Structure 1
Amino acid sequence: MAYTMVDLCWKLSVCFFCYQVVLGRVKKEGHYVAAVYEHESILSPNPTVLVDRQSALELMGRNLDIYEEQVVAAARQGAQIIVFPEDGIHGFNFTRSSIYPYLDFVLHSRSVKWNPCREPYLFNDTEVLQRLSCMALKNKIFLVANLGTKQPCEYTDPHCPTDGRYQFNTNVAFNDDGMLVATYRKHNLYFEYAFDTPPEPDYEVFDTPFAGKFGMFTCFDILFFEPAVNLIRRYNVKQVVYPTAWMNQLPLLSAVEFQQAFATAFKVNILAANIHHPTLGMTGSGIYTPVKSFIYHNMEGHGGKLIVAEIPVITIDYENNLESNKRFRENLHHSCKTFTSTSLDDQVCFKEGEETAGRASEKGKEQLLPLFYAEMMYDNFTLVPVWGRKGELQVCANTLCCYLNYRRAVLTDELYALGVFDGLHTVHGTYYVQACALVKCGGLSFSTCGQEVTDATALIDFQLWGNMSTPYIFPLLLTSGITLDFADDMGWKNNHYYISKNRTSSGLLTAALYGRWYEKD
């Protein structure tokens, strides 16, 4: 049978399409495929001992071998960008001098156009950058990784350390041709004495053909205005890459919990790669949109985990669709029917430093509940117990009052409490927090409220709100087994921020409004 040229072209097109489908490379319009890898890094047995450069390269090479395997695997699944965790290549717990052999030399990406894979001898001490660049080039994928870097400085520089060099905790981004397109130096170091804080915050973005502009920051940065919030505001960033080495702290700051809260609060996508060392409390990676997540949290198993997911590009149209989505409107109506209290519309103001006893009401009867104090997240929370099948509660501290309407389908042998904190957090960092938190306690005594809990059975319908003084509110909703759920509705009403949920997917661990009052840090 004779084929015309049109027939042949059509058949070849169909074959090519089928081939792309098999490889997972056909993507929905307005979507892209992202990958993050939670890496169980190979660590130096003696990080404080000084070694030579070759020994350092051998250790880092073992981690880079794993990276390369994961890049190949991600590319085969159609990933267009992959993110690796903080400290994944060199490890941690170094001194300033002992980390030096592990550092690559890198110039700020704005000052030089450089493809380390194609131009490997342009600078000395760039072996790690070369390998990362070649991974991106060979697999035609954007790649983001974290490494230690060094940069000599002059003594005339007032910020120059006494040893004549800067040492930075650095993220690097390569495009799918291996070109170094962005470098970011971590600004908020977390007891990282081997590294320097850059003199000024970096605001680093890079462009991609599939999702537009990406911004990046690292780990502890996510809790502060500079550079994370300012980057998103100043550059209108809607896609974020986020290497981290996060130690989970329940009930309010587990990795996946806060990563999702950040994505929801700022309506951004976050590609978050965490390190995997469960004995140190380090796990929790994911690909997050404002309304959906693909996560990995495993405190038991060993080995790394590759997550690949197709997600929508965040655009103005996408944001508008979120706001007008019919499901959200229906949930709002349902919430208003379920919670009939008028307390959102009729509030009382309290003076600075004043605390009020907890109040509960049911069927028009109001009773005072015992007010108690417990340490949560190293902060002294004021709490009231959540008793009975349903009720309305309030608890106040300083200028913040928190309110809760709740209903349980079945009473379980579990103690919950509503807590409030309005003050300066001073342990493992200093920053001002306003928090309203509904938490499951570790036992049946008040003293266990605020403890780390990972499992729950109680299904609680709730509406939680507070007269927050900051616009930066991170909604937390964590369920049994360290899984995530999403609120039916949230937002501002009558100068109060609220979150509501009916029918959680599993037992409730934490529902909270975590406010950051950056100006009071």
Structure 2
Amino acid sequence: MKVTGCILILLHLFCPEALSLDVDKGAFYMAAVYEHRPVLTPDPKVPHTRRAALELMYKNLAVYEEQVKAAAEQVLQRLSCMALNGSMFVVANVGTKMPCQHLDPGCPPDGQYQFNTDVVFSAAGTLVARYHKQNLYFEDAFNSPPEMEHIVFDTPFANGFGLFTCFDILFREPAVGLVTQHQVKHVLYPTAWMNQLPLLSAVQIQRGFSSSFNINFLAANIHEPSLGLTGSGIYTPAKSHYYHNMKSQEGKLIVAQVPVNPSLECSRKKESRHKVSQTQGLMVDLPLDSSVCQVEQQGVRCEGKPVGFHKPTPAFFSEMMYDNFTLVLITGAEGGLQVCSNSLCCSLSYRNAALSGETYALGVFDGLHTIHGTYYLQVCTLVKCGETCGQEITEAGGVLDFQLWGNFSTSYVFPLLLMSGMTLDLPGDWGWAGHDCYMSKEKTSSGLVTAALYGRWYEKD
């Protein structure tokens, strides 16, 4: 068995009198995620003795033990009213094996499956749940389980916890099924995520999944900057507590308060958003019917554009994360643009643009992604460009008020908003209007790196 660099800690920290309170009056639990820099074997391809393997595993477990204690100590400092014997659930990612019969067509030649596994232990030390990773990502040492599984468990302090791991987040099963079929309210997500900009850094997709489904999302990544591995967080519908650090060589423990009922926080957030919208107004009326657009060699031809949009500028193509995006450049302090690919048309309305001499573009991709995995995407993005539109950029100075929308063919769209210095922001408003998914933002917290509506059309995988 191996231990990788992911650990999540759930602490039952109600005050005794709070157990009888309605969730509307502040029921919560405390959660901790630890981004661990793992102790690795010098040469992972060379077989080791059982004793050597166990010694390596124990070194990682010793670090985990220290962090569990540290999490408990932090909570003691932050909460003066805590149950004397508060319970603690621990979630870790390990490697496990399971014997199989050769009659099983998927059974490996050595007669045992090896799984990338998440395990959950209760405060009593009992194993209460385990999940075998379904969607592997270049993991030659592991097998996909013969059957896809939805793992859901409850705790004394909150119900509806679900488990999945890393690459699973980009696929319908088990990630979407847990939320839509089992109505989980809390996702526990050990991962070893290599950051890929401008659309798929770890904290971007973690924040986006929480926002899209209005759930709590607890993510623990491995910390190994030399491999691009960093980015962990605790996300609720309204708040983000996260860590991304490519310079430090040390791990990081994050502790945050999490609502037992995230839908309640979501409804409050929605009320707040609508108050802002009613006061400031949307920049343009969202189209009720999708515009008809085609990408031609000469540029973009669109019919039915919203009033006030620029005459289409020549479109160009640029590779972004191995996909061929169609883009148009943003010009001027305000205006509107539209660009299309296949059936997806993306529109942008903007004003108060102070771009600091930097180049920004509106881009669209509607097609099958085939590099490092195969899955169908529909993406509308407002992105800062460097030498190319699509290169990895972490710093930006451009600010603007904007509204981005598209006529998506899928209902599974994740809002992404990444700012300068690998910091996150939340949209001022986002959702659906007719057949269009939209995102708007005024007064960005810092320079904009990427704003995107990242759609997954699972049926076309």
Fold shared by both chains (TM-score > 0.5): yes
8 Å CA contact 2:192, 2:222 repeated in 1: yes
- Name the amino acid aligned to 1:260: R
2:423 alignment counterpart: 483
Answer yes or no: is 1:357 the counterpart of 2:357.
Answer: no
Change (3 A) 1:247 1:365: closer
- Name the amino acid aligned to 2:38: S
Local SS of the residue matching 1:308: strand
Equivalent in 369, 388, 412 of residue 425 of structure 1 = 369
Structure 1 CA distance for aligned equivalents of residues 263 and 444 of structure 2: 30
2:405 alignment counterpart: 465
Displacement after TM superposition at 1:318 (Å):
4.2
1:166 alignment counterpart: 113
- Name the amino acid aligned to 1:164: G
- Name the amino acid aligned to 2:357: D
Change (3 A) 1:152 1:466: same
Q: Which has the larger radius of gyration?
A: 1
Indicate the larger mover: 145-154 or 156-165: 156-165
Superposed CA RMSD? 2.5
TM-score normalized by the length of structure 1: 0.79
Structure 1 CA distance for aligned equivalents of residues 306 and 454 of structure 2: 27
Structure 1 CA distance for aligned equivalents of residues 264 and 87 of structure 2: 29
Answer yes or no: is 1:192 the counterpart of 2:139.
Answer: yes
Q: Unaligned regions of 5+ residues in structure 2, if any?
A: 1-13, 18-24, 77-84
Displacement after TM superposition at 1:141 (Å):
1.4
Change (3 A) 1:345 1:334: farther
Answer yes or no: is 1:71 the counterpart of 2:54.
Answer: no
Q: Unaligned regions of 5+ residues in structure 1, if any?
A: 1-16, 21-27, 80-137
Name the structure where strand makes up a greater proportion of residues.
2
Change (3 A) 1:334 1:403: farther
TM-score normalized by the length of structure 2: 0.89
Q: Report Cα offsets for 1:472-521 as digits up to 9, x if no partner.
A: 00000000001000111111112100000000100000001000000000
Number of residue pairs matched?
431
1:129 alignment counterpart: none
Structure 2 CA distance for aligned equivalents of residues 365 and 64 of structure 1: 58
1:111-510 to structure 2, matched below 5 A, reads 140-314=87-261, 316-323=263-270, 325=271, 327-334=272-279, 336-337=281-282, 339=283, 341-342=284-285, 344-345=287-288, 347-350=290-293, 357=300, 366-443=310-387, 448-510=388-450
8 Å CA contact 2:289, 2:435 repeated in 1: no
Answer yes or no: is 1:511 the counterpart of 2:451.
Answer: yes
Identity between Structure 1 and Structure 2 (%): 57
8 Å CA contact 1:358, 1:384 repeated in 2: no
Structure 2 CA distance for aligned equivalents of residues 225 and 439 of structure 1: 26
Change (3 A) 1:367 1:352: closer
Structure 2 CA distance for aligned equivalents of residues 440 and 495 of structure 1: 27
Displacement after TM superposition at 1:356 (Å):
5.5
Q: Report Cα offsets for 1:384-414 as digits up to 9, x if no partner.
A: 0011111100000100000000123534110
Change (3 A) 1:463 1:316: closer
Displacement after TM superposition at 1:196 (Å):
0.4
Displacement after TM superposition at 1:354 (Å):
10
8 Å CA contact 1:400, 1:434 repeated in 2: yes
1:132 alignment counterpart: none
8 Å CA contact 1:37, 1:305 repeated in 2: yes
Change (3 A) 1:365 1:73: closer
Structure 1 CA distance for aligned equivalents of residues 434 and 263 of structure 2: 26
Structure 2 CA distance for aligned equivalents of residues 30 and 37 of structure 1: 24
